[in-house]
């Protein structure tokens, strides 16, 4: 067995422990579709994934990834801002995943925005079932990323204990502003 301090395997492990087949989950920023595919595999044939992205290019990339794996029927892909979650999702969710910043290999001027991200996070929090999880990859190293990450951290710090547990995982020795993970679990 290999050991890695990389964040993605840890995030996937945490989410895998929470989601049961048949549940509803959200990928708030579908990007290249990797998390959307991961979530579609976890929810099984009776579950549902709602995937959001403001960039049509990201939605199309994700649609191709899902089609190649035969999982497109489990996912509603929406070329809309993640602040529109409450318009499309009702009832409890088991998990929501956010990767803030810009579309990898895409236009670096189109980024997630502090206001809409905070709105989306609050909407997910209100839908989150007990023991459910929200994961947020923050990217402070690009234009606008540091202020968005700071606002998300401030919002997360305000969540009440013991109802919510908030964890932060970050490199302790980065050379530049490094991406880091926030994870929120609803305890009650």
In this prediction, residue 5 carries a pLDDT of 58
Which single residue is written with the structure tokens 């035969």?
Answer: 70
pLDDT tens across 61-70, in order? Answer: 999 999 999 9
pLDDT band for 1, please (50, 70, 90 cuts). very low
- pTM of model > 0.85: yes
- Cα–Cα distances (Å) from 18 to 21, 49, 129, in that order, read 10, 15, 10
For 70, the token pair is 């035969």
Beta bridge partners of 24: 48
Write a three-state SS string for 18-63. Answer: HCCCCCEEEECCCCCCHHHHHHHHHHCCCCEEEEECCCHHHHHHHH
pLDDT (average), residues 74-85: 98
Q: Which of 4-8, 10-14, 164-168 has the lowest mean pLDDT?
A: 4-8
Which single residue is written with the structure tokens 């999880």?
Answer: 133
Radius of gyration for the chain, computed over Cα atoms and rounded to the nearest angstrom:
15
Q: How far apart are CA 114 and CA 148, in angstroms?
A: 5
Per-residue DSSP letter, 124: H
Stronger pLDDT, 124 or 8, i.e. the higher one:
124
Q: Pairing mode, if any, of strands 180-186 and 128-138?
A: antiparallel
pLDDT tens across 22-63, in order? Answer: 999 999 999 999 999 999 999 999 999 999 999 999 999 999
Task: Look at the domain 7-186 and name its fold.
Answer: Rossmann fold (3.40.50)
Domain ranges of the chain: 7-186
In this prediction, residue 4 carries a pLDDT of 53
pLDDT above 70 for 2: no
pLDDT tens across 95-145, in order? Answer: 999 999 999 988 999 999 999 999 999 999 999 999 999 999 999 999 999
Q: Which of 4-8, 156-160, 162-166, 183-187 has the lowest mean pLDDT?
A: 4-8
Q: Are the beta carbons of 75 and 33 closer than 8 angstroms?
A: no
146 by Cβ neighbours in 10 Å (0-12 / 13-18 / 19+) ranks as: middle
């Amino acid at each position: 067995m290999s050991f890695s301090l990389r964040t993605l395997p840890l995030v996937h492990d945490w989410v895998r422990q929470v989601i049961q087949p048949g549940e509803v989950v959200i990928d708030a920023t579908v990007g290249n579709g990797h998390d959307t595919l991961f979530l579609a595999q976890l929810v099984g044939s009776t579950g549902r994934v709602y995937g959001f992205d403001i960039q049509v290019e990201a939605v199309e990339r994700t649609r191709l990834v899902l089609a190649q794996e035969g999982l497109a029927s489990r996912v509603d892909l929406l070329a809309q801002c993640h602040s529109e979650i409450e318009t499309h999702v009702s009832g409890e969710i088991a998990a929501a995943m956010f990767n803030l910043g810009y579309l990898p290999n895409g236009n670096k001027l189109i980024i997630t925005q502090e206001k809409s991200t905070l709105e989306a996070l609050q909407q997910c929090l209100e839908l989150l079932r007990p023991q459910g999880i929200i994961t947020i990859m923050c990217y402070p190293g690009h234009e606008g990323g540091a202020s968005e990450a700071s606002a998300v951290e401030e919002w997360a710090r305000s969540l009440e204990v013991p109802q919510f547990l908030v964890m932060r995982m970050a490199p302790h020795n980065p050379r530049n502003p490094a991406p880091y993970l926030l994870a929120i679990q609803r305890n009650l």
